[in-house]
Amino acid sequence: MADDAWQRLELPAPPSSVDDLSDHLIELGATGTWQDGDRVLAYFPLTIPSTTIEQAVASWWAAHQGQSGPTCQWQEEVEQDWVTAWQDHFEPLPVGRSLIILPEWHDLADAGERLPVRIRPGRGFGTGGHDTTATCLEMLEQRVMQSTDPAALSLLDVGTGSGVLAIAAGRLGIGQITAFDNDPEAIENAQDNLALNTPLSMTVYTGTLDGIETTHDIVMANLLAHVIVELLPDLTRVLAADGTLIVSGILSEQGDRVEAALTENGLTVTDHCHRGMWLTMAAERSAIRP
């Protein structure tokens, strides 16, 4: 068995369920997923038994589709195959008014007039193609456009994954950027991506919210709904008095729960964006009530 081998799972999936299924596969330990026509492809390390994954997929399918799931198709591949597959599926992606997610194997000229966010796909979530990442980038861009001095803004990216949000913030002109993740492999990927985007400068490290003592003008958390709710007291603690919190990774049906939690923590939703099955929200501190 090669040290750099992976097992690839291939599943047919209804278009309406692709995002939800992909997120479930990530939760099960997939290092990357993408849609290829009517199929979802996912890569798992060989240390995760395929039978465990198949059982979890069958349970998910029964709960979400009300029927038996399709047969899981497996193939073992080495690291180079995994990277080549990414290159076959990952093309430059314009986002918002001014950004473009640019795979590292594309020339900078492919960015045209847009601001390039160069990405080397790795094990950190976030290539800009997922609806949650794209809508976060769009809200971030809107917030920056409202500022008269973006260089004076500070941003905290909670659970940075590949670093795509933090790097985009730098491209948009934000001057003080901190990004962290509790996954060392994600941080390694984020640091690689930061190196592709020189001369941007930001603080990127492995850690948690507990270690953050300063406040920030923009706090971004593209996670999952239950994680956001759990972290909201700390997310509010690190948000500047007139700051903006942007949260995503929220299924549309979970929006009311998250908004209620925001309210409980003294925040008011000021903007929201539904795309596909997902919801992204921006919130600010509520006015002081008598």
- d(C-alpha 77, C-alpha 18), whole Å: 23
Paired strand residues for 285:
267
124 to 76, 162, 183: CA distances (angstroms)? 21, 4, 8
Fold of 124-285: Rossmann fold (3.40.50)
What's the pLDDT tens digit per position in 210-228?
989 999 999 999 988 999 9
Q: Does domain 5-87 have CATH number 3.30.70.1170?
A: yes
What's the pLDDT tens digit per position in 15-59?
767 777 887 887 788 877 777 667 888 888 888 889 889 988 888
Is the per-residue pLDDT at 2 higher than 50? Answer: no
- Give the confidence band of 1 by pLDDT, cuts at 50, 70, 90: very low
Within a 10 A sphere around the Cβ of 36, how many other Cβ atoms?
11
What's the pLDDT tens digit per position in 80-107?
555 566 566 678 889 999 999 998 888 9
Q: Which H helix or E strand runs over 142? A: helix 131-145
Q: What ranges make up the beta strands (E) of the chain?
A: 5-12, 32-36, 39-45, 73-78, 93-95, 99-103, 115-119, 154-158, 176-181, 203-206, 216-222, 239-251, 267-275, 278-285
Mean pLDDT of the chain: 87
Domain locations in the chain? Answer: 5-87, 124-285
Question: DSSP string covering 159-199, please?
Answer: S-TTSHHHHHHHHTT-SEEEEEES-HHHHHHHHHHHHHTTT
Query: Looking at this protein, which amino acid is placed at residue 69?
Result: G
- d(C-alpha 159, C-alpha 206), whole Å: 9
- Residue 45 is predicted with a pLDDT of 82
Is the per-residue pLDDT at 155 higher than 70? Answer: yes
Looking at residues 62-75, what average pLDDT do you find?
A: 83
Residue 284's SS3 state is strand
Q: Looking at 105-114, 129-138, 232-241, 250-259, which range is the least confident one?
A: 129-138
Residue 27's SS3 state is helix
Distance from the first to the final alpha carbon of the chain? 67
Tell me the H-state helices in 197-285.
225-237, 255-264
- Residue 69 is predicted with a pLDDT of 78
